[in-house]
Structure 1
Amino acid sequence: MYTIYVGDKPIILTTKVEKETDFKSFLLKSVNIGKVIKILNTTDIKEVRLIHHNPDKLLKHFLKLLPNVVAGGGKAYNANDEILFIYRNNKWDLPKGKIEGKESIEETAVREVEEETGVKGLKITKALPTTYHIFKRNGKHKIKITYWFEMKTKFKGKLYPQENEGITRVEWLDQKALQEAMENSYANIRILM
């Protein structure tokens, strides 16, 4: 099973057929993805489920529905066990960005965290779950596939928001501040906490 977000509402990829209650179901092979996005954005339906009999083909078939954007990002911890967050588009988010050239996804994740925050000396400690969300740019919907990594750093320097990317703040958040930030974040970021 996979979850792809449209805003804070999920599209669930599943093999299970269940009686519809506060969700709608469609067959993945014949779905009109534009219609699904519209339903999620304009109705009070809680989620959409896309059904396919083969669990190994759920994601593969779904990713063919829209252009894909591959990104890497980081959940970076400092020596005080605080987590590095950016504030962009009036929401708290983790730093991430698109892959460039022939770099590996791990290189992308480290580069993007450095560029968006000014933090140096990042070391990847482990892979985190991959997230999926649908967004709209220049009138076209796309699927962003973000590969996340936990990172650690001993960095104690000044934080610099990458303003040309719309980032207005960069902060290390402790557990209390993190809980508050999660009330104004994205569903796929809450998954990583």
Structure 2
Amino acid sequence: MTFTQISAGGVVYRYQEGILQVQLIVDRYGKTSLPKGKMEAGETIEETALREIHEETGIVGSISSPVDIIAYKYHHPELGQVDKEVHYYLVEAIAGALVPQLEEINAVAWHEPLEAWRKQRSNGYNNNDIILRKALSLLEVYIPENEDIPY
């Protein structure tokens, strides 16, 4: 029997003095990542994304648009094979201050778009490349081709 697990999160952005900034977290494994977490009973996927972003980073957000869904399988010691779906949204920061949920993540910070891309490429999970690239594209930020080379 296969178990399906739904998670949701987002690429959070803001404009600080007219300059676009993107939020990245450092997860408990020391990897650059995006805030996300498991859906709870009674929640919509969008509510999950906004709750997880707020819990992990302290930021209250508003969904601008869907970005994409990452799907993969992994083996859970008790559940067996799990089909995992992670739904990502582009989320505008509307309130709150950066406060990392230290039980879940090590750090959270704002970065200019190309800096965020470089951090993702050098220390992030490969399957998040497409998410960050699509989110930046929705924000009308395009990655130069020479930035596609892993560091």
1:129 match: secondary structure: strand
1:187 maps to 2:123: no
Structure number with bigger Rg: 1
Aligned to 1:124: 63
Of 11, 18, 34, which aligns to 1:75?
Answer: 11
Q: Which moved more, 1:167-176 or 1:93-102?
A: 167-176
Give, as a single letter, the amino acid of the residue that structure 2 aligns with 1:92. Answer: T
Give, as a single letter, the amino acid of the residue that structure 2 aligns with 1:133. Answer: Y
Alpha-carbon distance in structure 2 between the residues aligned to 1:169 and 1:136: 28
Alpha-carbon distance in structure 2 between the residues aligned to 1:66 and 1:185: 28
Alpha-carbon distance in structure 1 between the residues aligned to 2:21 and 2:127: 19
1:188 match: secondary structure: helix
1:114 maps to 2:54: yes
Deviation, structure 1 residue 154: 3.7
Of 147, 159, 162, which aligns to 2:101?
Answer: 162
Check whether the contact 2:59–2:94 (CA below 8 A) recurs between aligned residues: no
Alpha-carbon distance in structure 2 between the residues aligned to 1:158 and 1:175: 19
Aligned to 1:96: 36
Deviation, structure 1 residue 118: 0.5
Alpha-carbon distance in structure 2 between the residues aligned to 1:185 and 1:98: 20
Instruction: Report the CA distance shift for 1:74/1:67 in structure 2 as closer, same or farther (over 3 A).
Output: same
Aligned to 2:143: none
Aligned to 2:140: none
1:132 match: secondary structure: strand
Deviation, structure 1 residue 191: 0.6
Give, as a single letter, the amino acid of the residue that structure 1 aligns with 2:46. Answer: E
C-alpha offsets along residues 33-53 of structure 1, whole Å, 9 cap, x if unaligned?
xxxxxxxxxxxxxxxxxxxxx
Aligned to 2:145: none
Structure 1 gap segments, 5+ residues each? 1-64
Structure 2 gap segments, 5+ residues each? 134-151
- Give 1 or 2: higher strand fraction: 2
CA-atom RMSD, angstroms?
1.8
1:178 maps to 2:116: yes
Aligned to 2:141: none
Alpha-carbon distance in structure 2 between the residues aligned to 1:68 and 1:134: 9
User: Structure 2 length as normaliser, TM-score?
Assistant: 0.75
Give, as a single letter, the amino acid of the residue that structure 2 aligns with 1:74. Answer: G
Check whether the contact 1:132–1:188 (CA below 8 A) recurs between aligned residues: no
Alignment of 1:23-38 (within 5 A): none
